[in-house]
Structure 1
Amino acid sequence: MLKEAKSLNQFYVIGVSYEKADVKTRGKFAFFDHLISSLVIESNLIGIQHLFVISTCNRTEIYFFAEEPDKMYEVYCKQVEGDVETFRQITFQKNGKDALEHLFRVSSGLESQILGDFEILGQIKIAFKKFKKAGSANAHLERFIDTAVRISKQIKNETSLSDGATSVSYAAVQYIIHQFQNFKNKKITLFGTGKIGRNTCENLVKQTHNDQITLINRTNEKAVKLSDKLQVNQVNYKFLDKILNDSDIFIVSTGSSKPVIFKEMISTTKPLLLVDLSIPANVDADVKELPNVTLVNVDELSQTINQTLEDRQSQIPKVETIIRLNMWEFEEWLESRKFVPAIEAFRERMEFLAEFEKRKLEKKEIEISEKSLSTSLIQKMTNQFASYVMDSPEEEAEKTINLFNEIFHLELKQERK
């Protein structure tokens, strides 16, 4: 159990992002939901009980409390089947206030590959909720996430950091618009209906006004539901190969741990643009061996959209000020938390005394009423106070009496001589 006074210093983040690792390398250490339970169990075995992992196309970060963080590298790599030494080389590690500030910067979009991309906040909330369900949350992590949400809302309301729809999904659509003059007439297929897939489809509908957009998904019902909502076409998953070869543009947002599109699946000789929005890559790199195929991944998309973000750069000082002010408020809250163990111990002691007196009355076969129990408890506490005062040196006894007087507003009476 972490002591309140030390808990912030024991808060760590280990992370890898687009800044130090390319798409292929990040993909080797991506985290998936089916690993949550086993990671929580393995972490508990090394004394790490409170943690969550955020894994997106741009970053994978492990937030946790620990007295010694080093073992987390091995535990995490064991889960994702990644090489520990490689992971150490490409990751950063922060702790205490630096780790907390990093969380706030990430959730606000400051650390996003596309500056100001607020999709990350929703991803953090979802990831934390899943780990909380697995029993790995604590009061501090709850407060960290709540504060991150509040800061992000404040930034969105008070700055223009997120003005304009610049996300990976938006970048994908912008790339298509700039690459094809006649994009309205192209056959566009979107494979995958997760959050990024849904956002991409909405952007396609709004920005291209193309009536040849088609959805396909492993779970057919999800594709049908989204196609009805956005008024686009939909085909059954069993026709994946056919729709792939019929398309001019094929966008992959499947979130699989392995590639789902391979060179062998492509038989068409006409130009085909493949846009892979997944980490790890869901389109096998061997498709680039085909002369008619162009493959674009999230890093390449982000580079194209970042050229239009000069206006957002001017908002960074405002955002950092908001984060700094919230950090100060948070530190005040943490300072108040250091007294929690003493307060809880006092309450537990009172509960113990109440139960003890109740059992004592039962043994004496005295009818237990609210009055008899309170009278017995009052006498017990008075006896303990009197015993401590009379057994202490006079100076210490005076301090104790003055303290109790200040807490309970005692009406002290002078003893008659």
Structure 2
Amino acid sequence: MTLVAIGINHKTASVSLREKVAFGPDILTDALKSLADQTRTGEAVILSTCNRTELYTNQVECDRLIQWLSQFHNLSEAELRECIYLHTGQSAVQHLLRVSAGLDSLVLGEPQILGQIKQAFADAKRVGTIAHTLDRLFQHTFKVAKRIRTETEIGSSAVSVAFAAVNLARHIFDDLSRSRVLLVGAGETIELVARHLSEQGVTNMVVANRTLARAEGMAAEFGGRAVTLPQIPEHLAEADIVISSTASPLPILGKGMVENALKARRHQPMLLVDIAVPRDIESEVADLENAYLYTVDDLQGIVEKNMASRLEAAEQAELIAHEQSSEFMSWLRSLDSVATIRAFRSQSEAVKADALARAQERLASGADPEAVMLELANKLTNKLIHSPTQALSKAARSGDLDSLELLRAALGIDDN
């Protein structure tokens, strides 16, 4: 039984191609059924995220999978082949384990991919394209991913500026969920900050942006309020945490503005994190009592240190992935051995039944019992040793000493 994984990701394909190969919810069910039809076992899982699309199946040729993918999306097969990677057998298992642990992600060790794999598995199960082999593979994957998270530091440190900013706030404030946050800007970085804050239980967020419509869209997603940049002074005093990232060429928050806000707060401390380049917050703000200002340079040092820690953890994770892919393949091979043993037993039973029936016929016709028993023994022996004898002869003639030794061991041949 051969496991197969093929796909494209952020390392091998452009965003435009990844968009064309993606499987949205509206086409996923049909895609899974169609893909499962390509295999002999009817098993298939499709993992589709913004950074990767991967197909997991068994008992199917890789070329057929590539053809199916190009035809389903009406794409050039040649274009796909330039970007696609493929894995079979243990390599396919190890690839899935690496992906689930975040070892193949754009951000090393990111945890979101495991949830996406679990969803892909659940979708395949719902559609009915999961059977014994892929079920065991993905359950094994979830167990190994949990072990990697537990035994290594692969996901414990912030390796993005957005996450580092939220992590900093989490260490300063005992309970982030009770904090009031002002986000200045509405680009990708601030959106990521908002997402991390939401995951920490923050619900009191104000999003300030030059364009109100953009701020309203983000605020609505995270249950916050939207304001324009000129309205910041009206809301600054309410904020325990201010995180800013805009493309403004000039500072948006000046020393005087922050000083007034601190007075209105009766000098309750305020954390300000400026992750913009050029700066959004005047550097003199750091001189104010109860204002704690961190810049992108401060966070970048944390990120670089944490990335080194993750790289070290990744080496441990790679060893676990390799070891556990071997363990899964041992289980998979045991399935093949069970089927082979069952077939061998069935074949031997058929030979025995045939020889016994002939002997019984001869006894019923009055033949000498001793002669019948001798003939039965001879015929049964000849039939049972015919195939092994041919295999031994072939190995000996070709000088295949490894196969010869293996056959001798399997047949229990002892020189003594």
The TM-score with structure 1 as length reference comes to 0.54
Distance 1:215 1:334, change over 3 A: farther
Partner Cα separation in structure 2 for residue 167 and residue 390 of structure 1: 80
Amino acid across the alignment from 1:129: A
Amino acid across the alignment from 1:65: N
Distance 1:209 1:36, change over 3 A: closer
Q: Match for 2:206 among 196, 211, 214?
A: 211
Amino acid across the alignment from 1:146: Q
Secondary structure of 2:61's counterpart equals coil
Partner Cα separation in structure 2 for residue 215 and residue 79 of structure 1: 38
Amino acid across the alignment from 1:35: I
Q: Deviations over 1:195-243 (max 9, x none)?
A: x99944515875x9853387749xx9xx5xx63xxxx349xxxxxxxx9
Amino acid across the alignment from 2:335: R
Partner Cα separation in structure 1 for residue 133 and residue 229 of structure 2: 51
Q: Deviations over 1:89-130 (max 9, x none)?
A: 111112111111111111111111111112111111111110
Amino acid across the alignment from 1:159: T
| Residue 101 (str. 1) matches residue 70 (str. 2) | no
Partner Cα separation in structure 2 for residue 15 and residue 330 of structure 1: 21
The higher-RCO structure (CA 8 Å, 6+ apart) is 1
Which residue number corresponds to residue 331 of structure 1? 329
Partner Cα separation in structure 1 for residue 118 and residue 231 of structure 2: 35
Distance 1:64 1:44, change over 3 A: closer
Which residue number corresponds to residue 412 of structure 1? none
Contact 1:12–1:94, Cα closer than 8 Å, also in 2: yes
Q: Deviations over 1:222-271 (max 9, x none)?
A: x5xx63xxxx349xxxxxxxx999999xxxxxxxxxxxxxxxxxxxxx96
Amino acid across the alignment from 1:338: D
| Residue 68 (str. 1) matches residue 37 (str. 2) | no
| Residue 202 (str. 1) matches residue 215 (str. 2) | no
Which residue number corresponds to residue 15 of structure 1? 7
Which residue number corresponds to residue 387 of structure 1? 356
Q: How far did residue 35 of structure 1 move?
A: 1.7
Partner Cα separation in structure 1 for residue 331 and residue 354 of structure 2: 32
Higher Cα Rg, which structure: 2
The CA RMSD over aligned residues, in Å, is 5.0
Distance 1:44 1:315, change over 3 A: closer
Q: How far did residue 148 of structure 1 move?
A: 0.8
Which residue number corresponds to residue 19 of structure 2? 27
Which residue number corresponds to residue 43 of structure 1? 35
Q: How far did residue 64 of structure 1 move?
A: 1.5
Secondary structure of 2:104's counterpart equals coil
| Residue 139 (str. 1) matches residue 137 (str. 2) | no
| Residue 318 (str. 1) matches residue 313 (str. 2) | no
Amino acid across the alignment from 2:140: T
Amino acid across the alignment from 1:85: A
Q: Deviations over 1:326-355 (max 9, x none)?
A: 223222212221144368789999xxxxxx
Count of residues in Structure 1 that have an aligned counterpart in Structure 2: 287
Amino acid across the alignment from 2:309: D
Higher alpha-carbon deviation: 105-114 or 317-326: 317-326
Contact 1:106–1:112, Cα closer than 8 Å, also in 2: yes
Q: Match for 1:116 among 99, 109, 124?
A: 109
Partner Cα separation in structure 1 for residue 83 and residue 23 of structure 2: 16
Q: Identity of aligned pairs, percent?
A: 25
Contact 2:44–2:129, Cα closer than 8 Å, also in 1: yes
Amino acid across the alignment from 2:54: E
Q: How far did residue 144 of structure 1 move?
A: 0.9
Partner Cα separation in structure 1 for residue 230 and residue 92 of structure 2: 48
Contact 1:114–1:306, Cα closer than 8 Å, also in 2: no
Secondary structure of 1:184's counterpart equals strand
Amino acid across the alignment from 1:211: V
Amino acid across the alignment from 2:198: E
Partner Cα separation in structure 2 for residue 328 and residue 85 of structure 1: 33
Amino acid across the alignment from 2:93: L
Q: How far did residue 313 of structure 1 move?
A: 0.7
Q: How far did residue 152 of structure 1 move?
A: 0.8
Partner Cα separation in structure 2 for residue 389 and residue 342 of structure 1: 27
Distance 1:107 1:395, change over 3 A: farther
Q: Deviations over 1:351-405 (max 9, x none)?
A: xxxxxxxxxxxxxxxxxxxxxxxxxxxxxx9x959936957741675899xxxxx
Distance 1:168 1:88, change over 3 A: farther
Which residue number corresponds to residue 365 of structure 1? none
Secondary structure of 2:206's counterpart equals coil
Q: How far did residue 159 of structure 1 move?
A: 0.8
Secondary structure of 1:212's counterpart equals strand
Partner Cα separation in structure 2 for residue 317 and residue 141 of structure 1: 27
Secondary structure of 1:309's counterpart equals helix
Contact 2:157–2:310, Cα closer than 8 Å, also in 1: no
Unaligned runs of 5+ in 2: 168-180, 209-214, 233-246, 250-301, 361-374, 384-416
Contact 2:205–2:225, Cα closer than 8 Å, also in 1: no
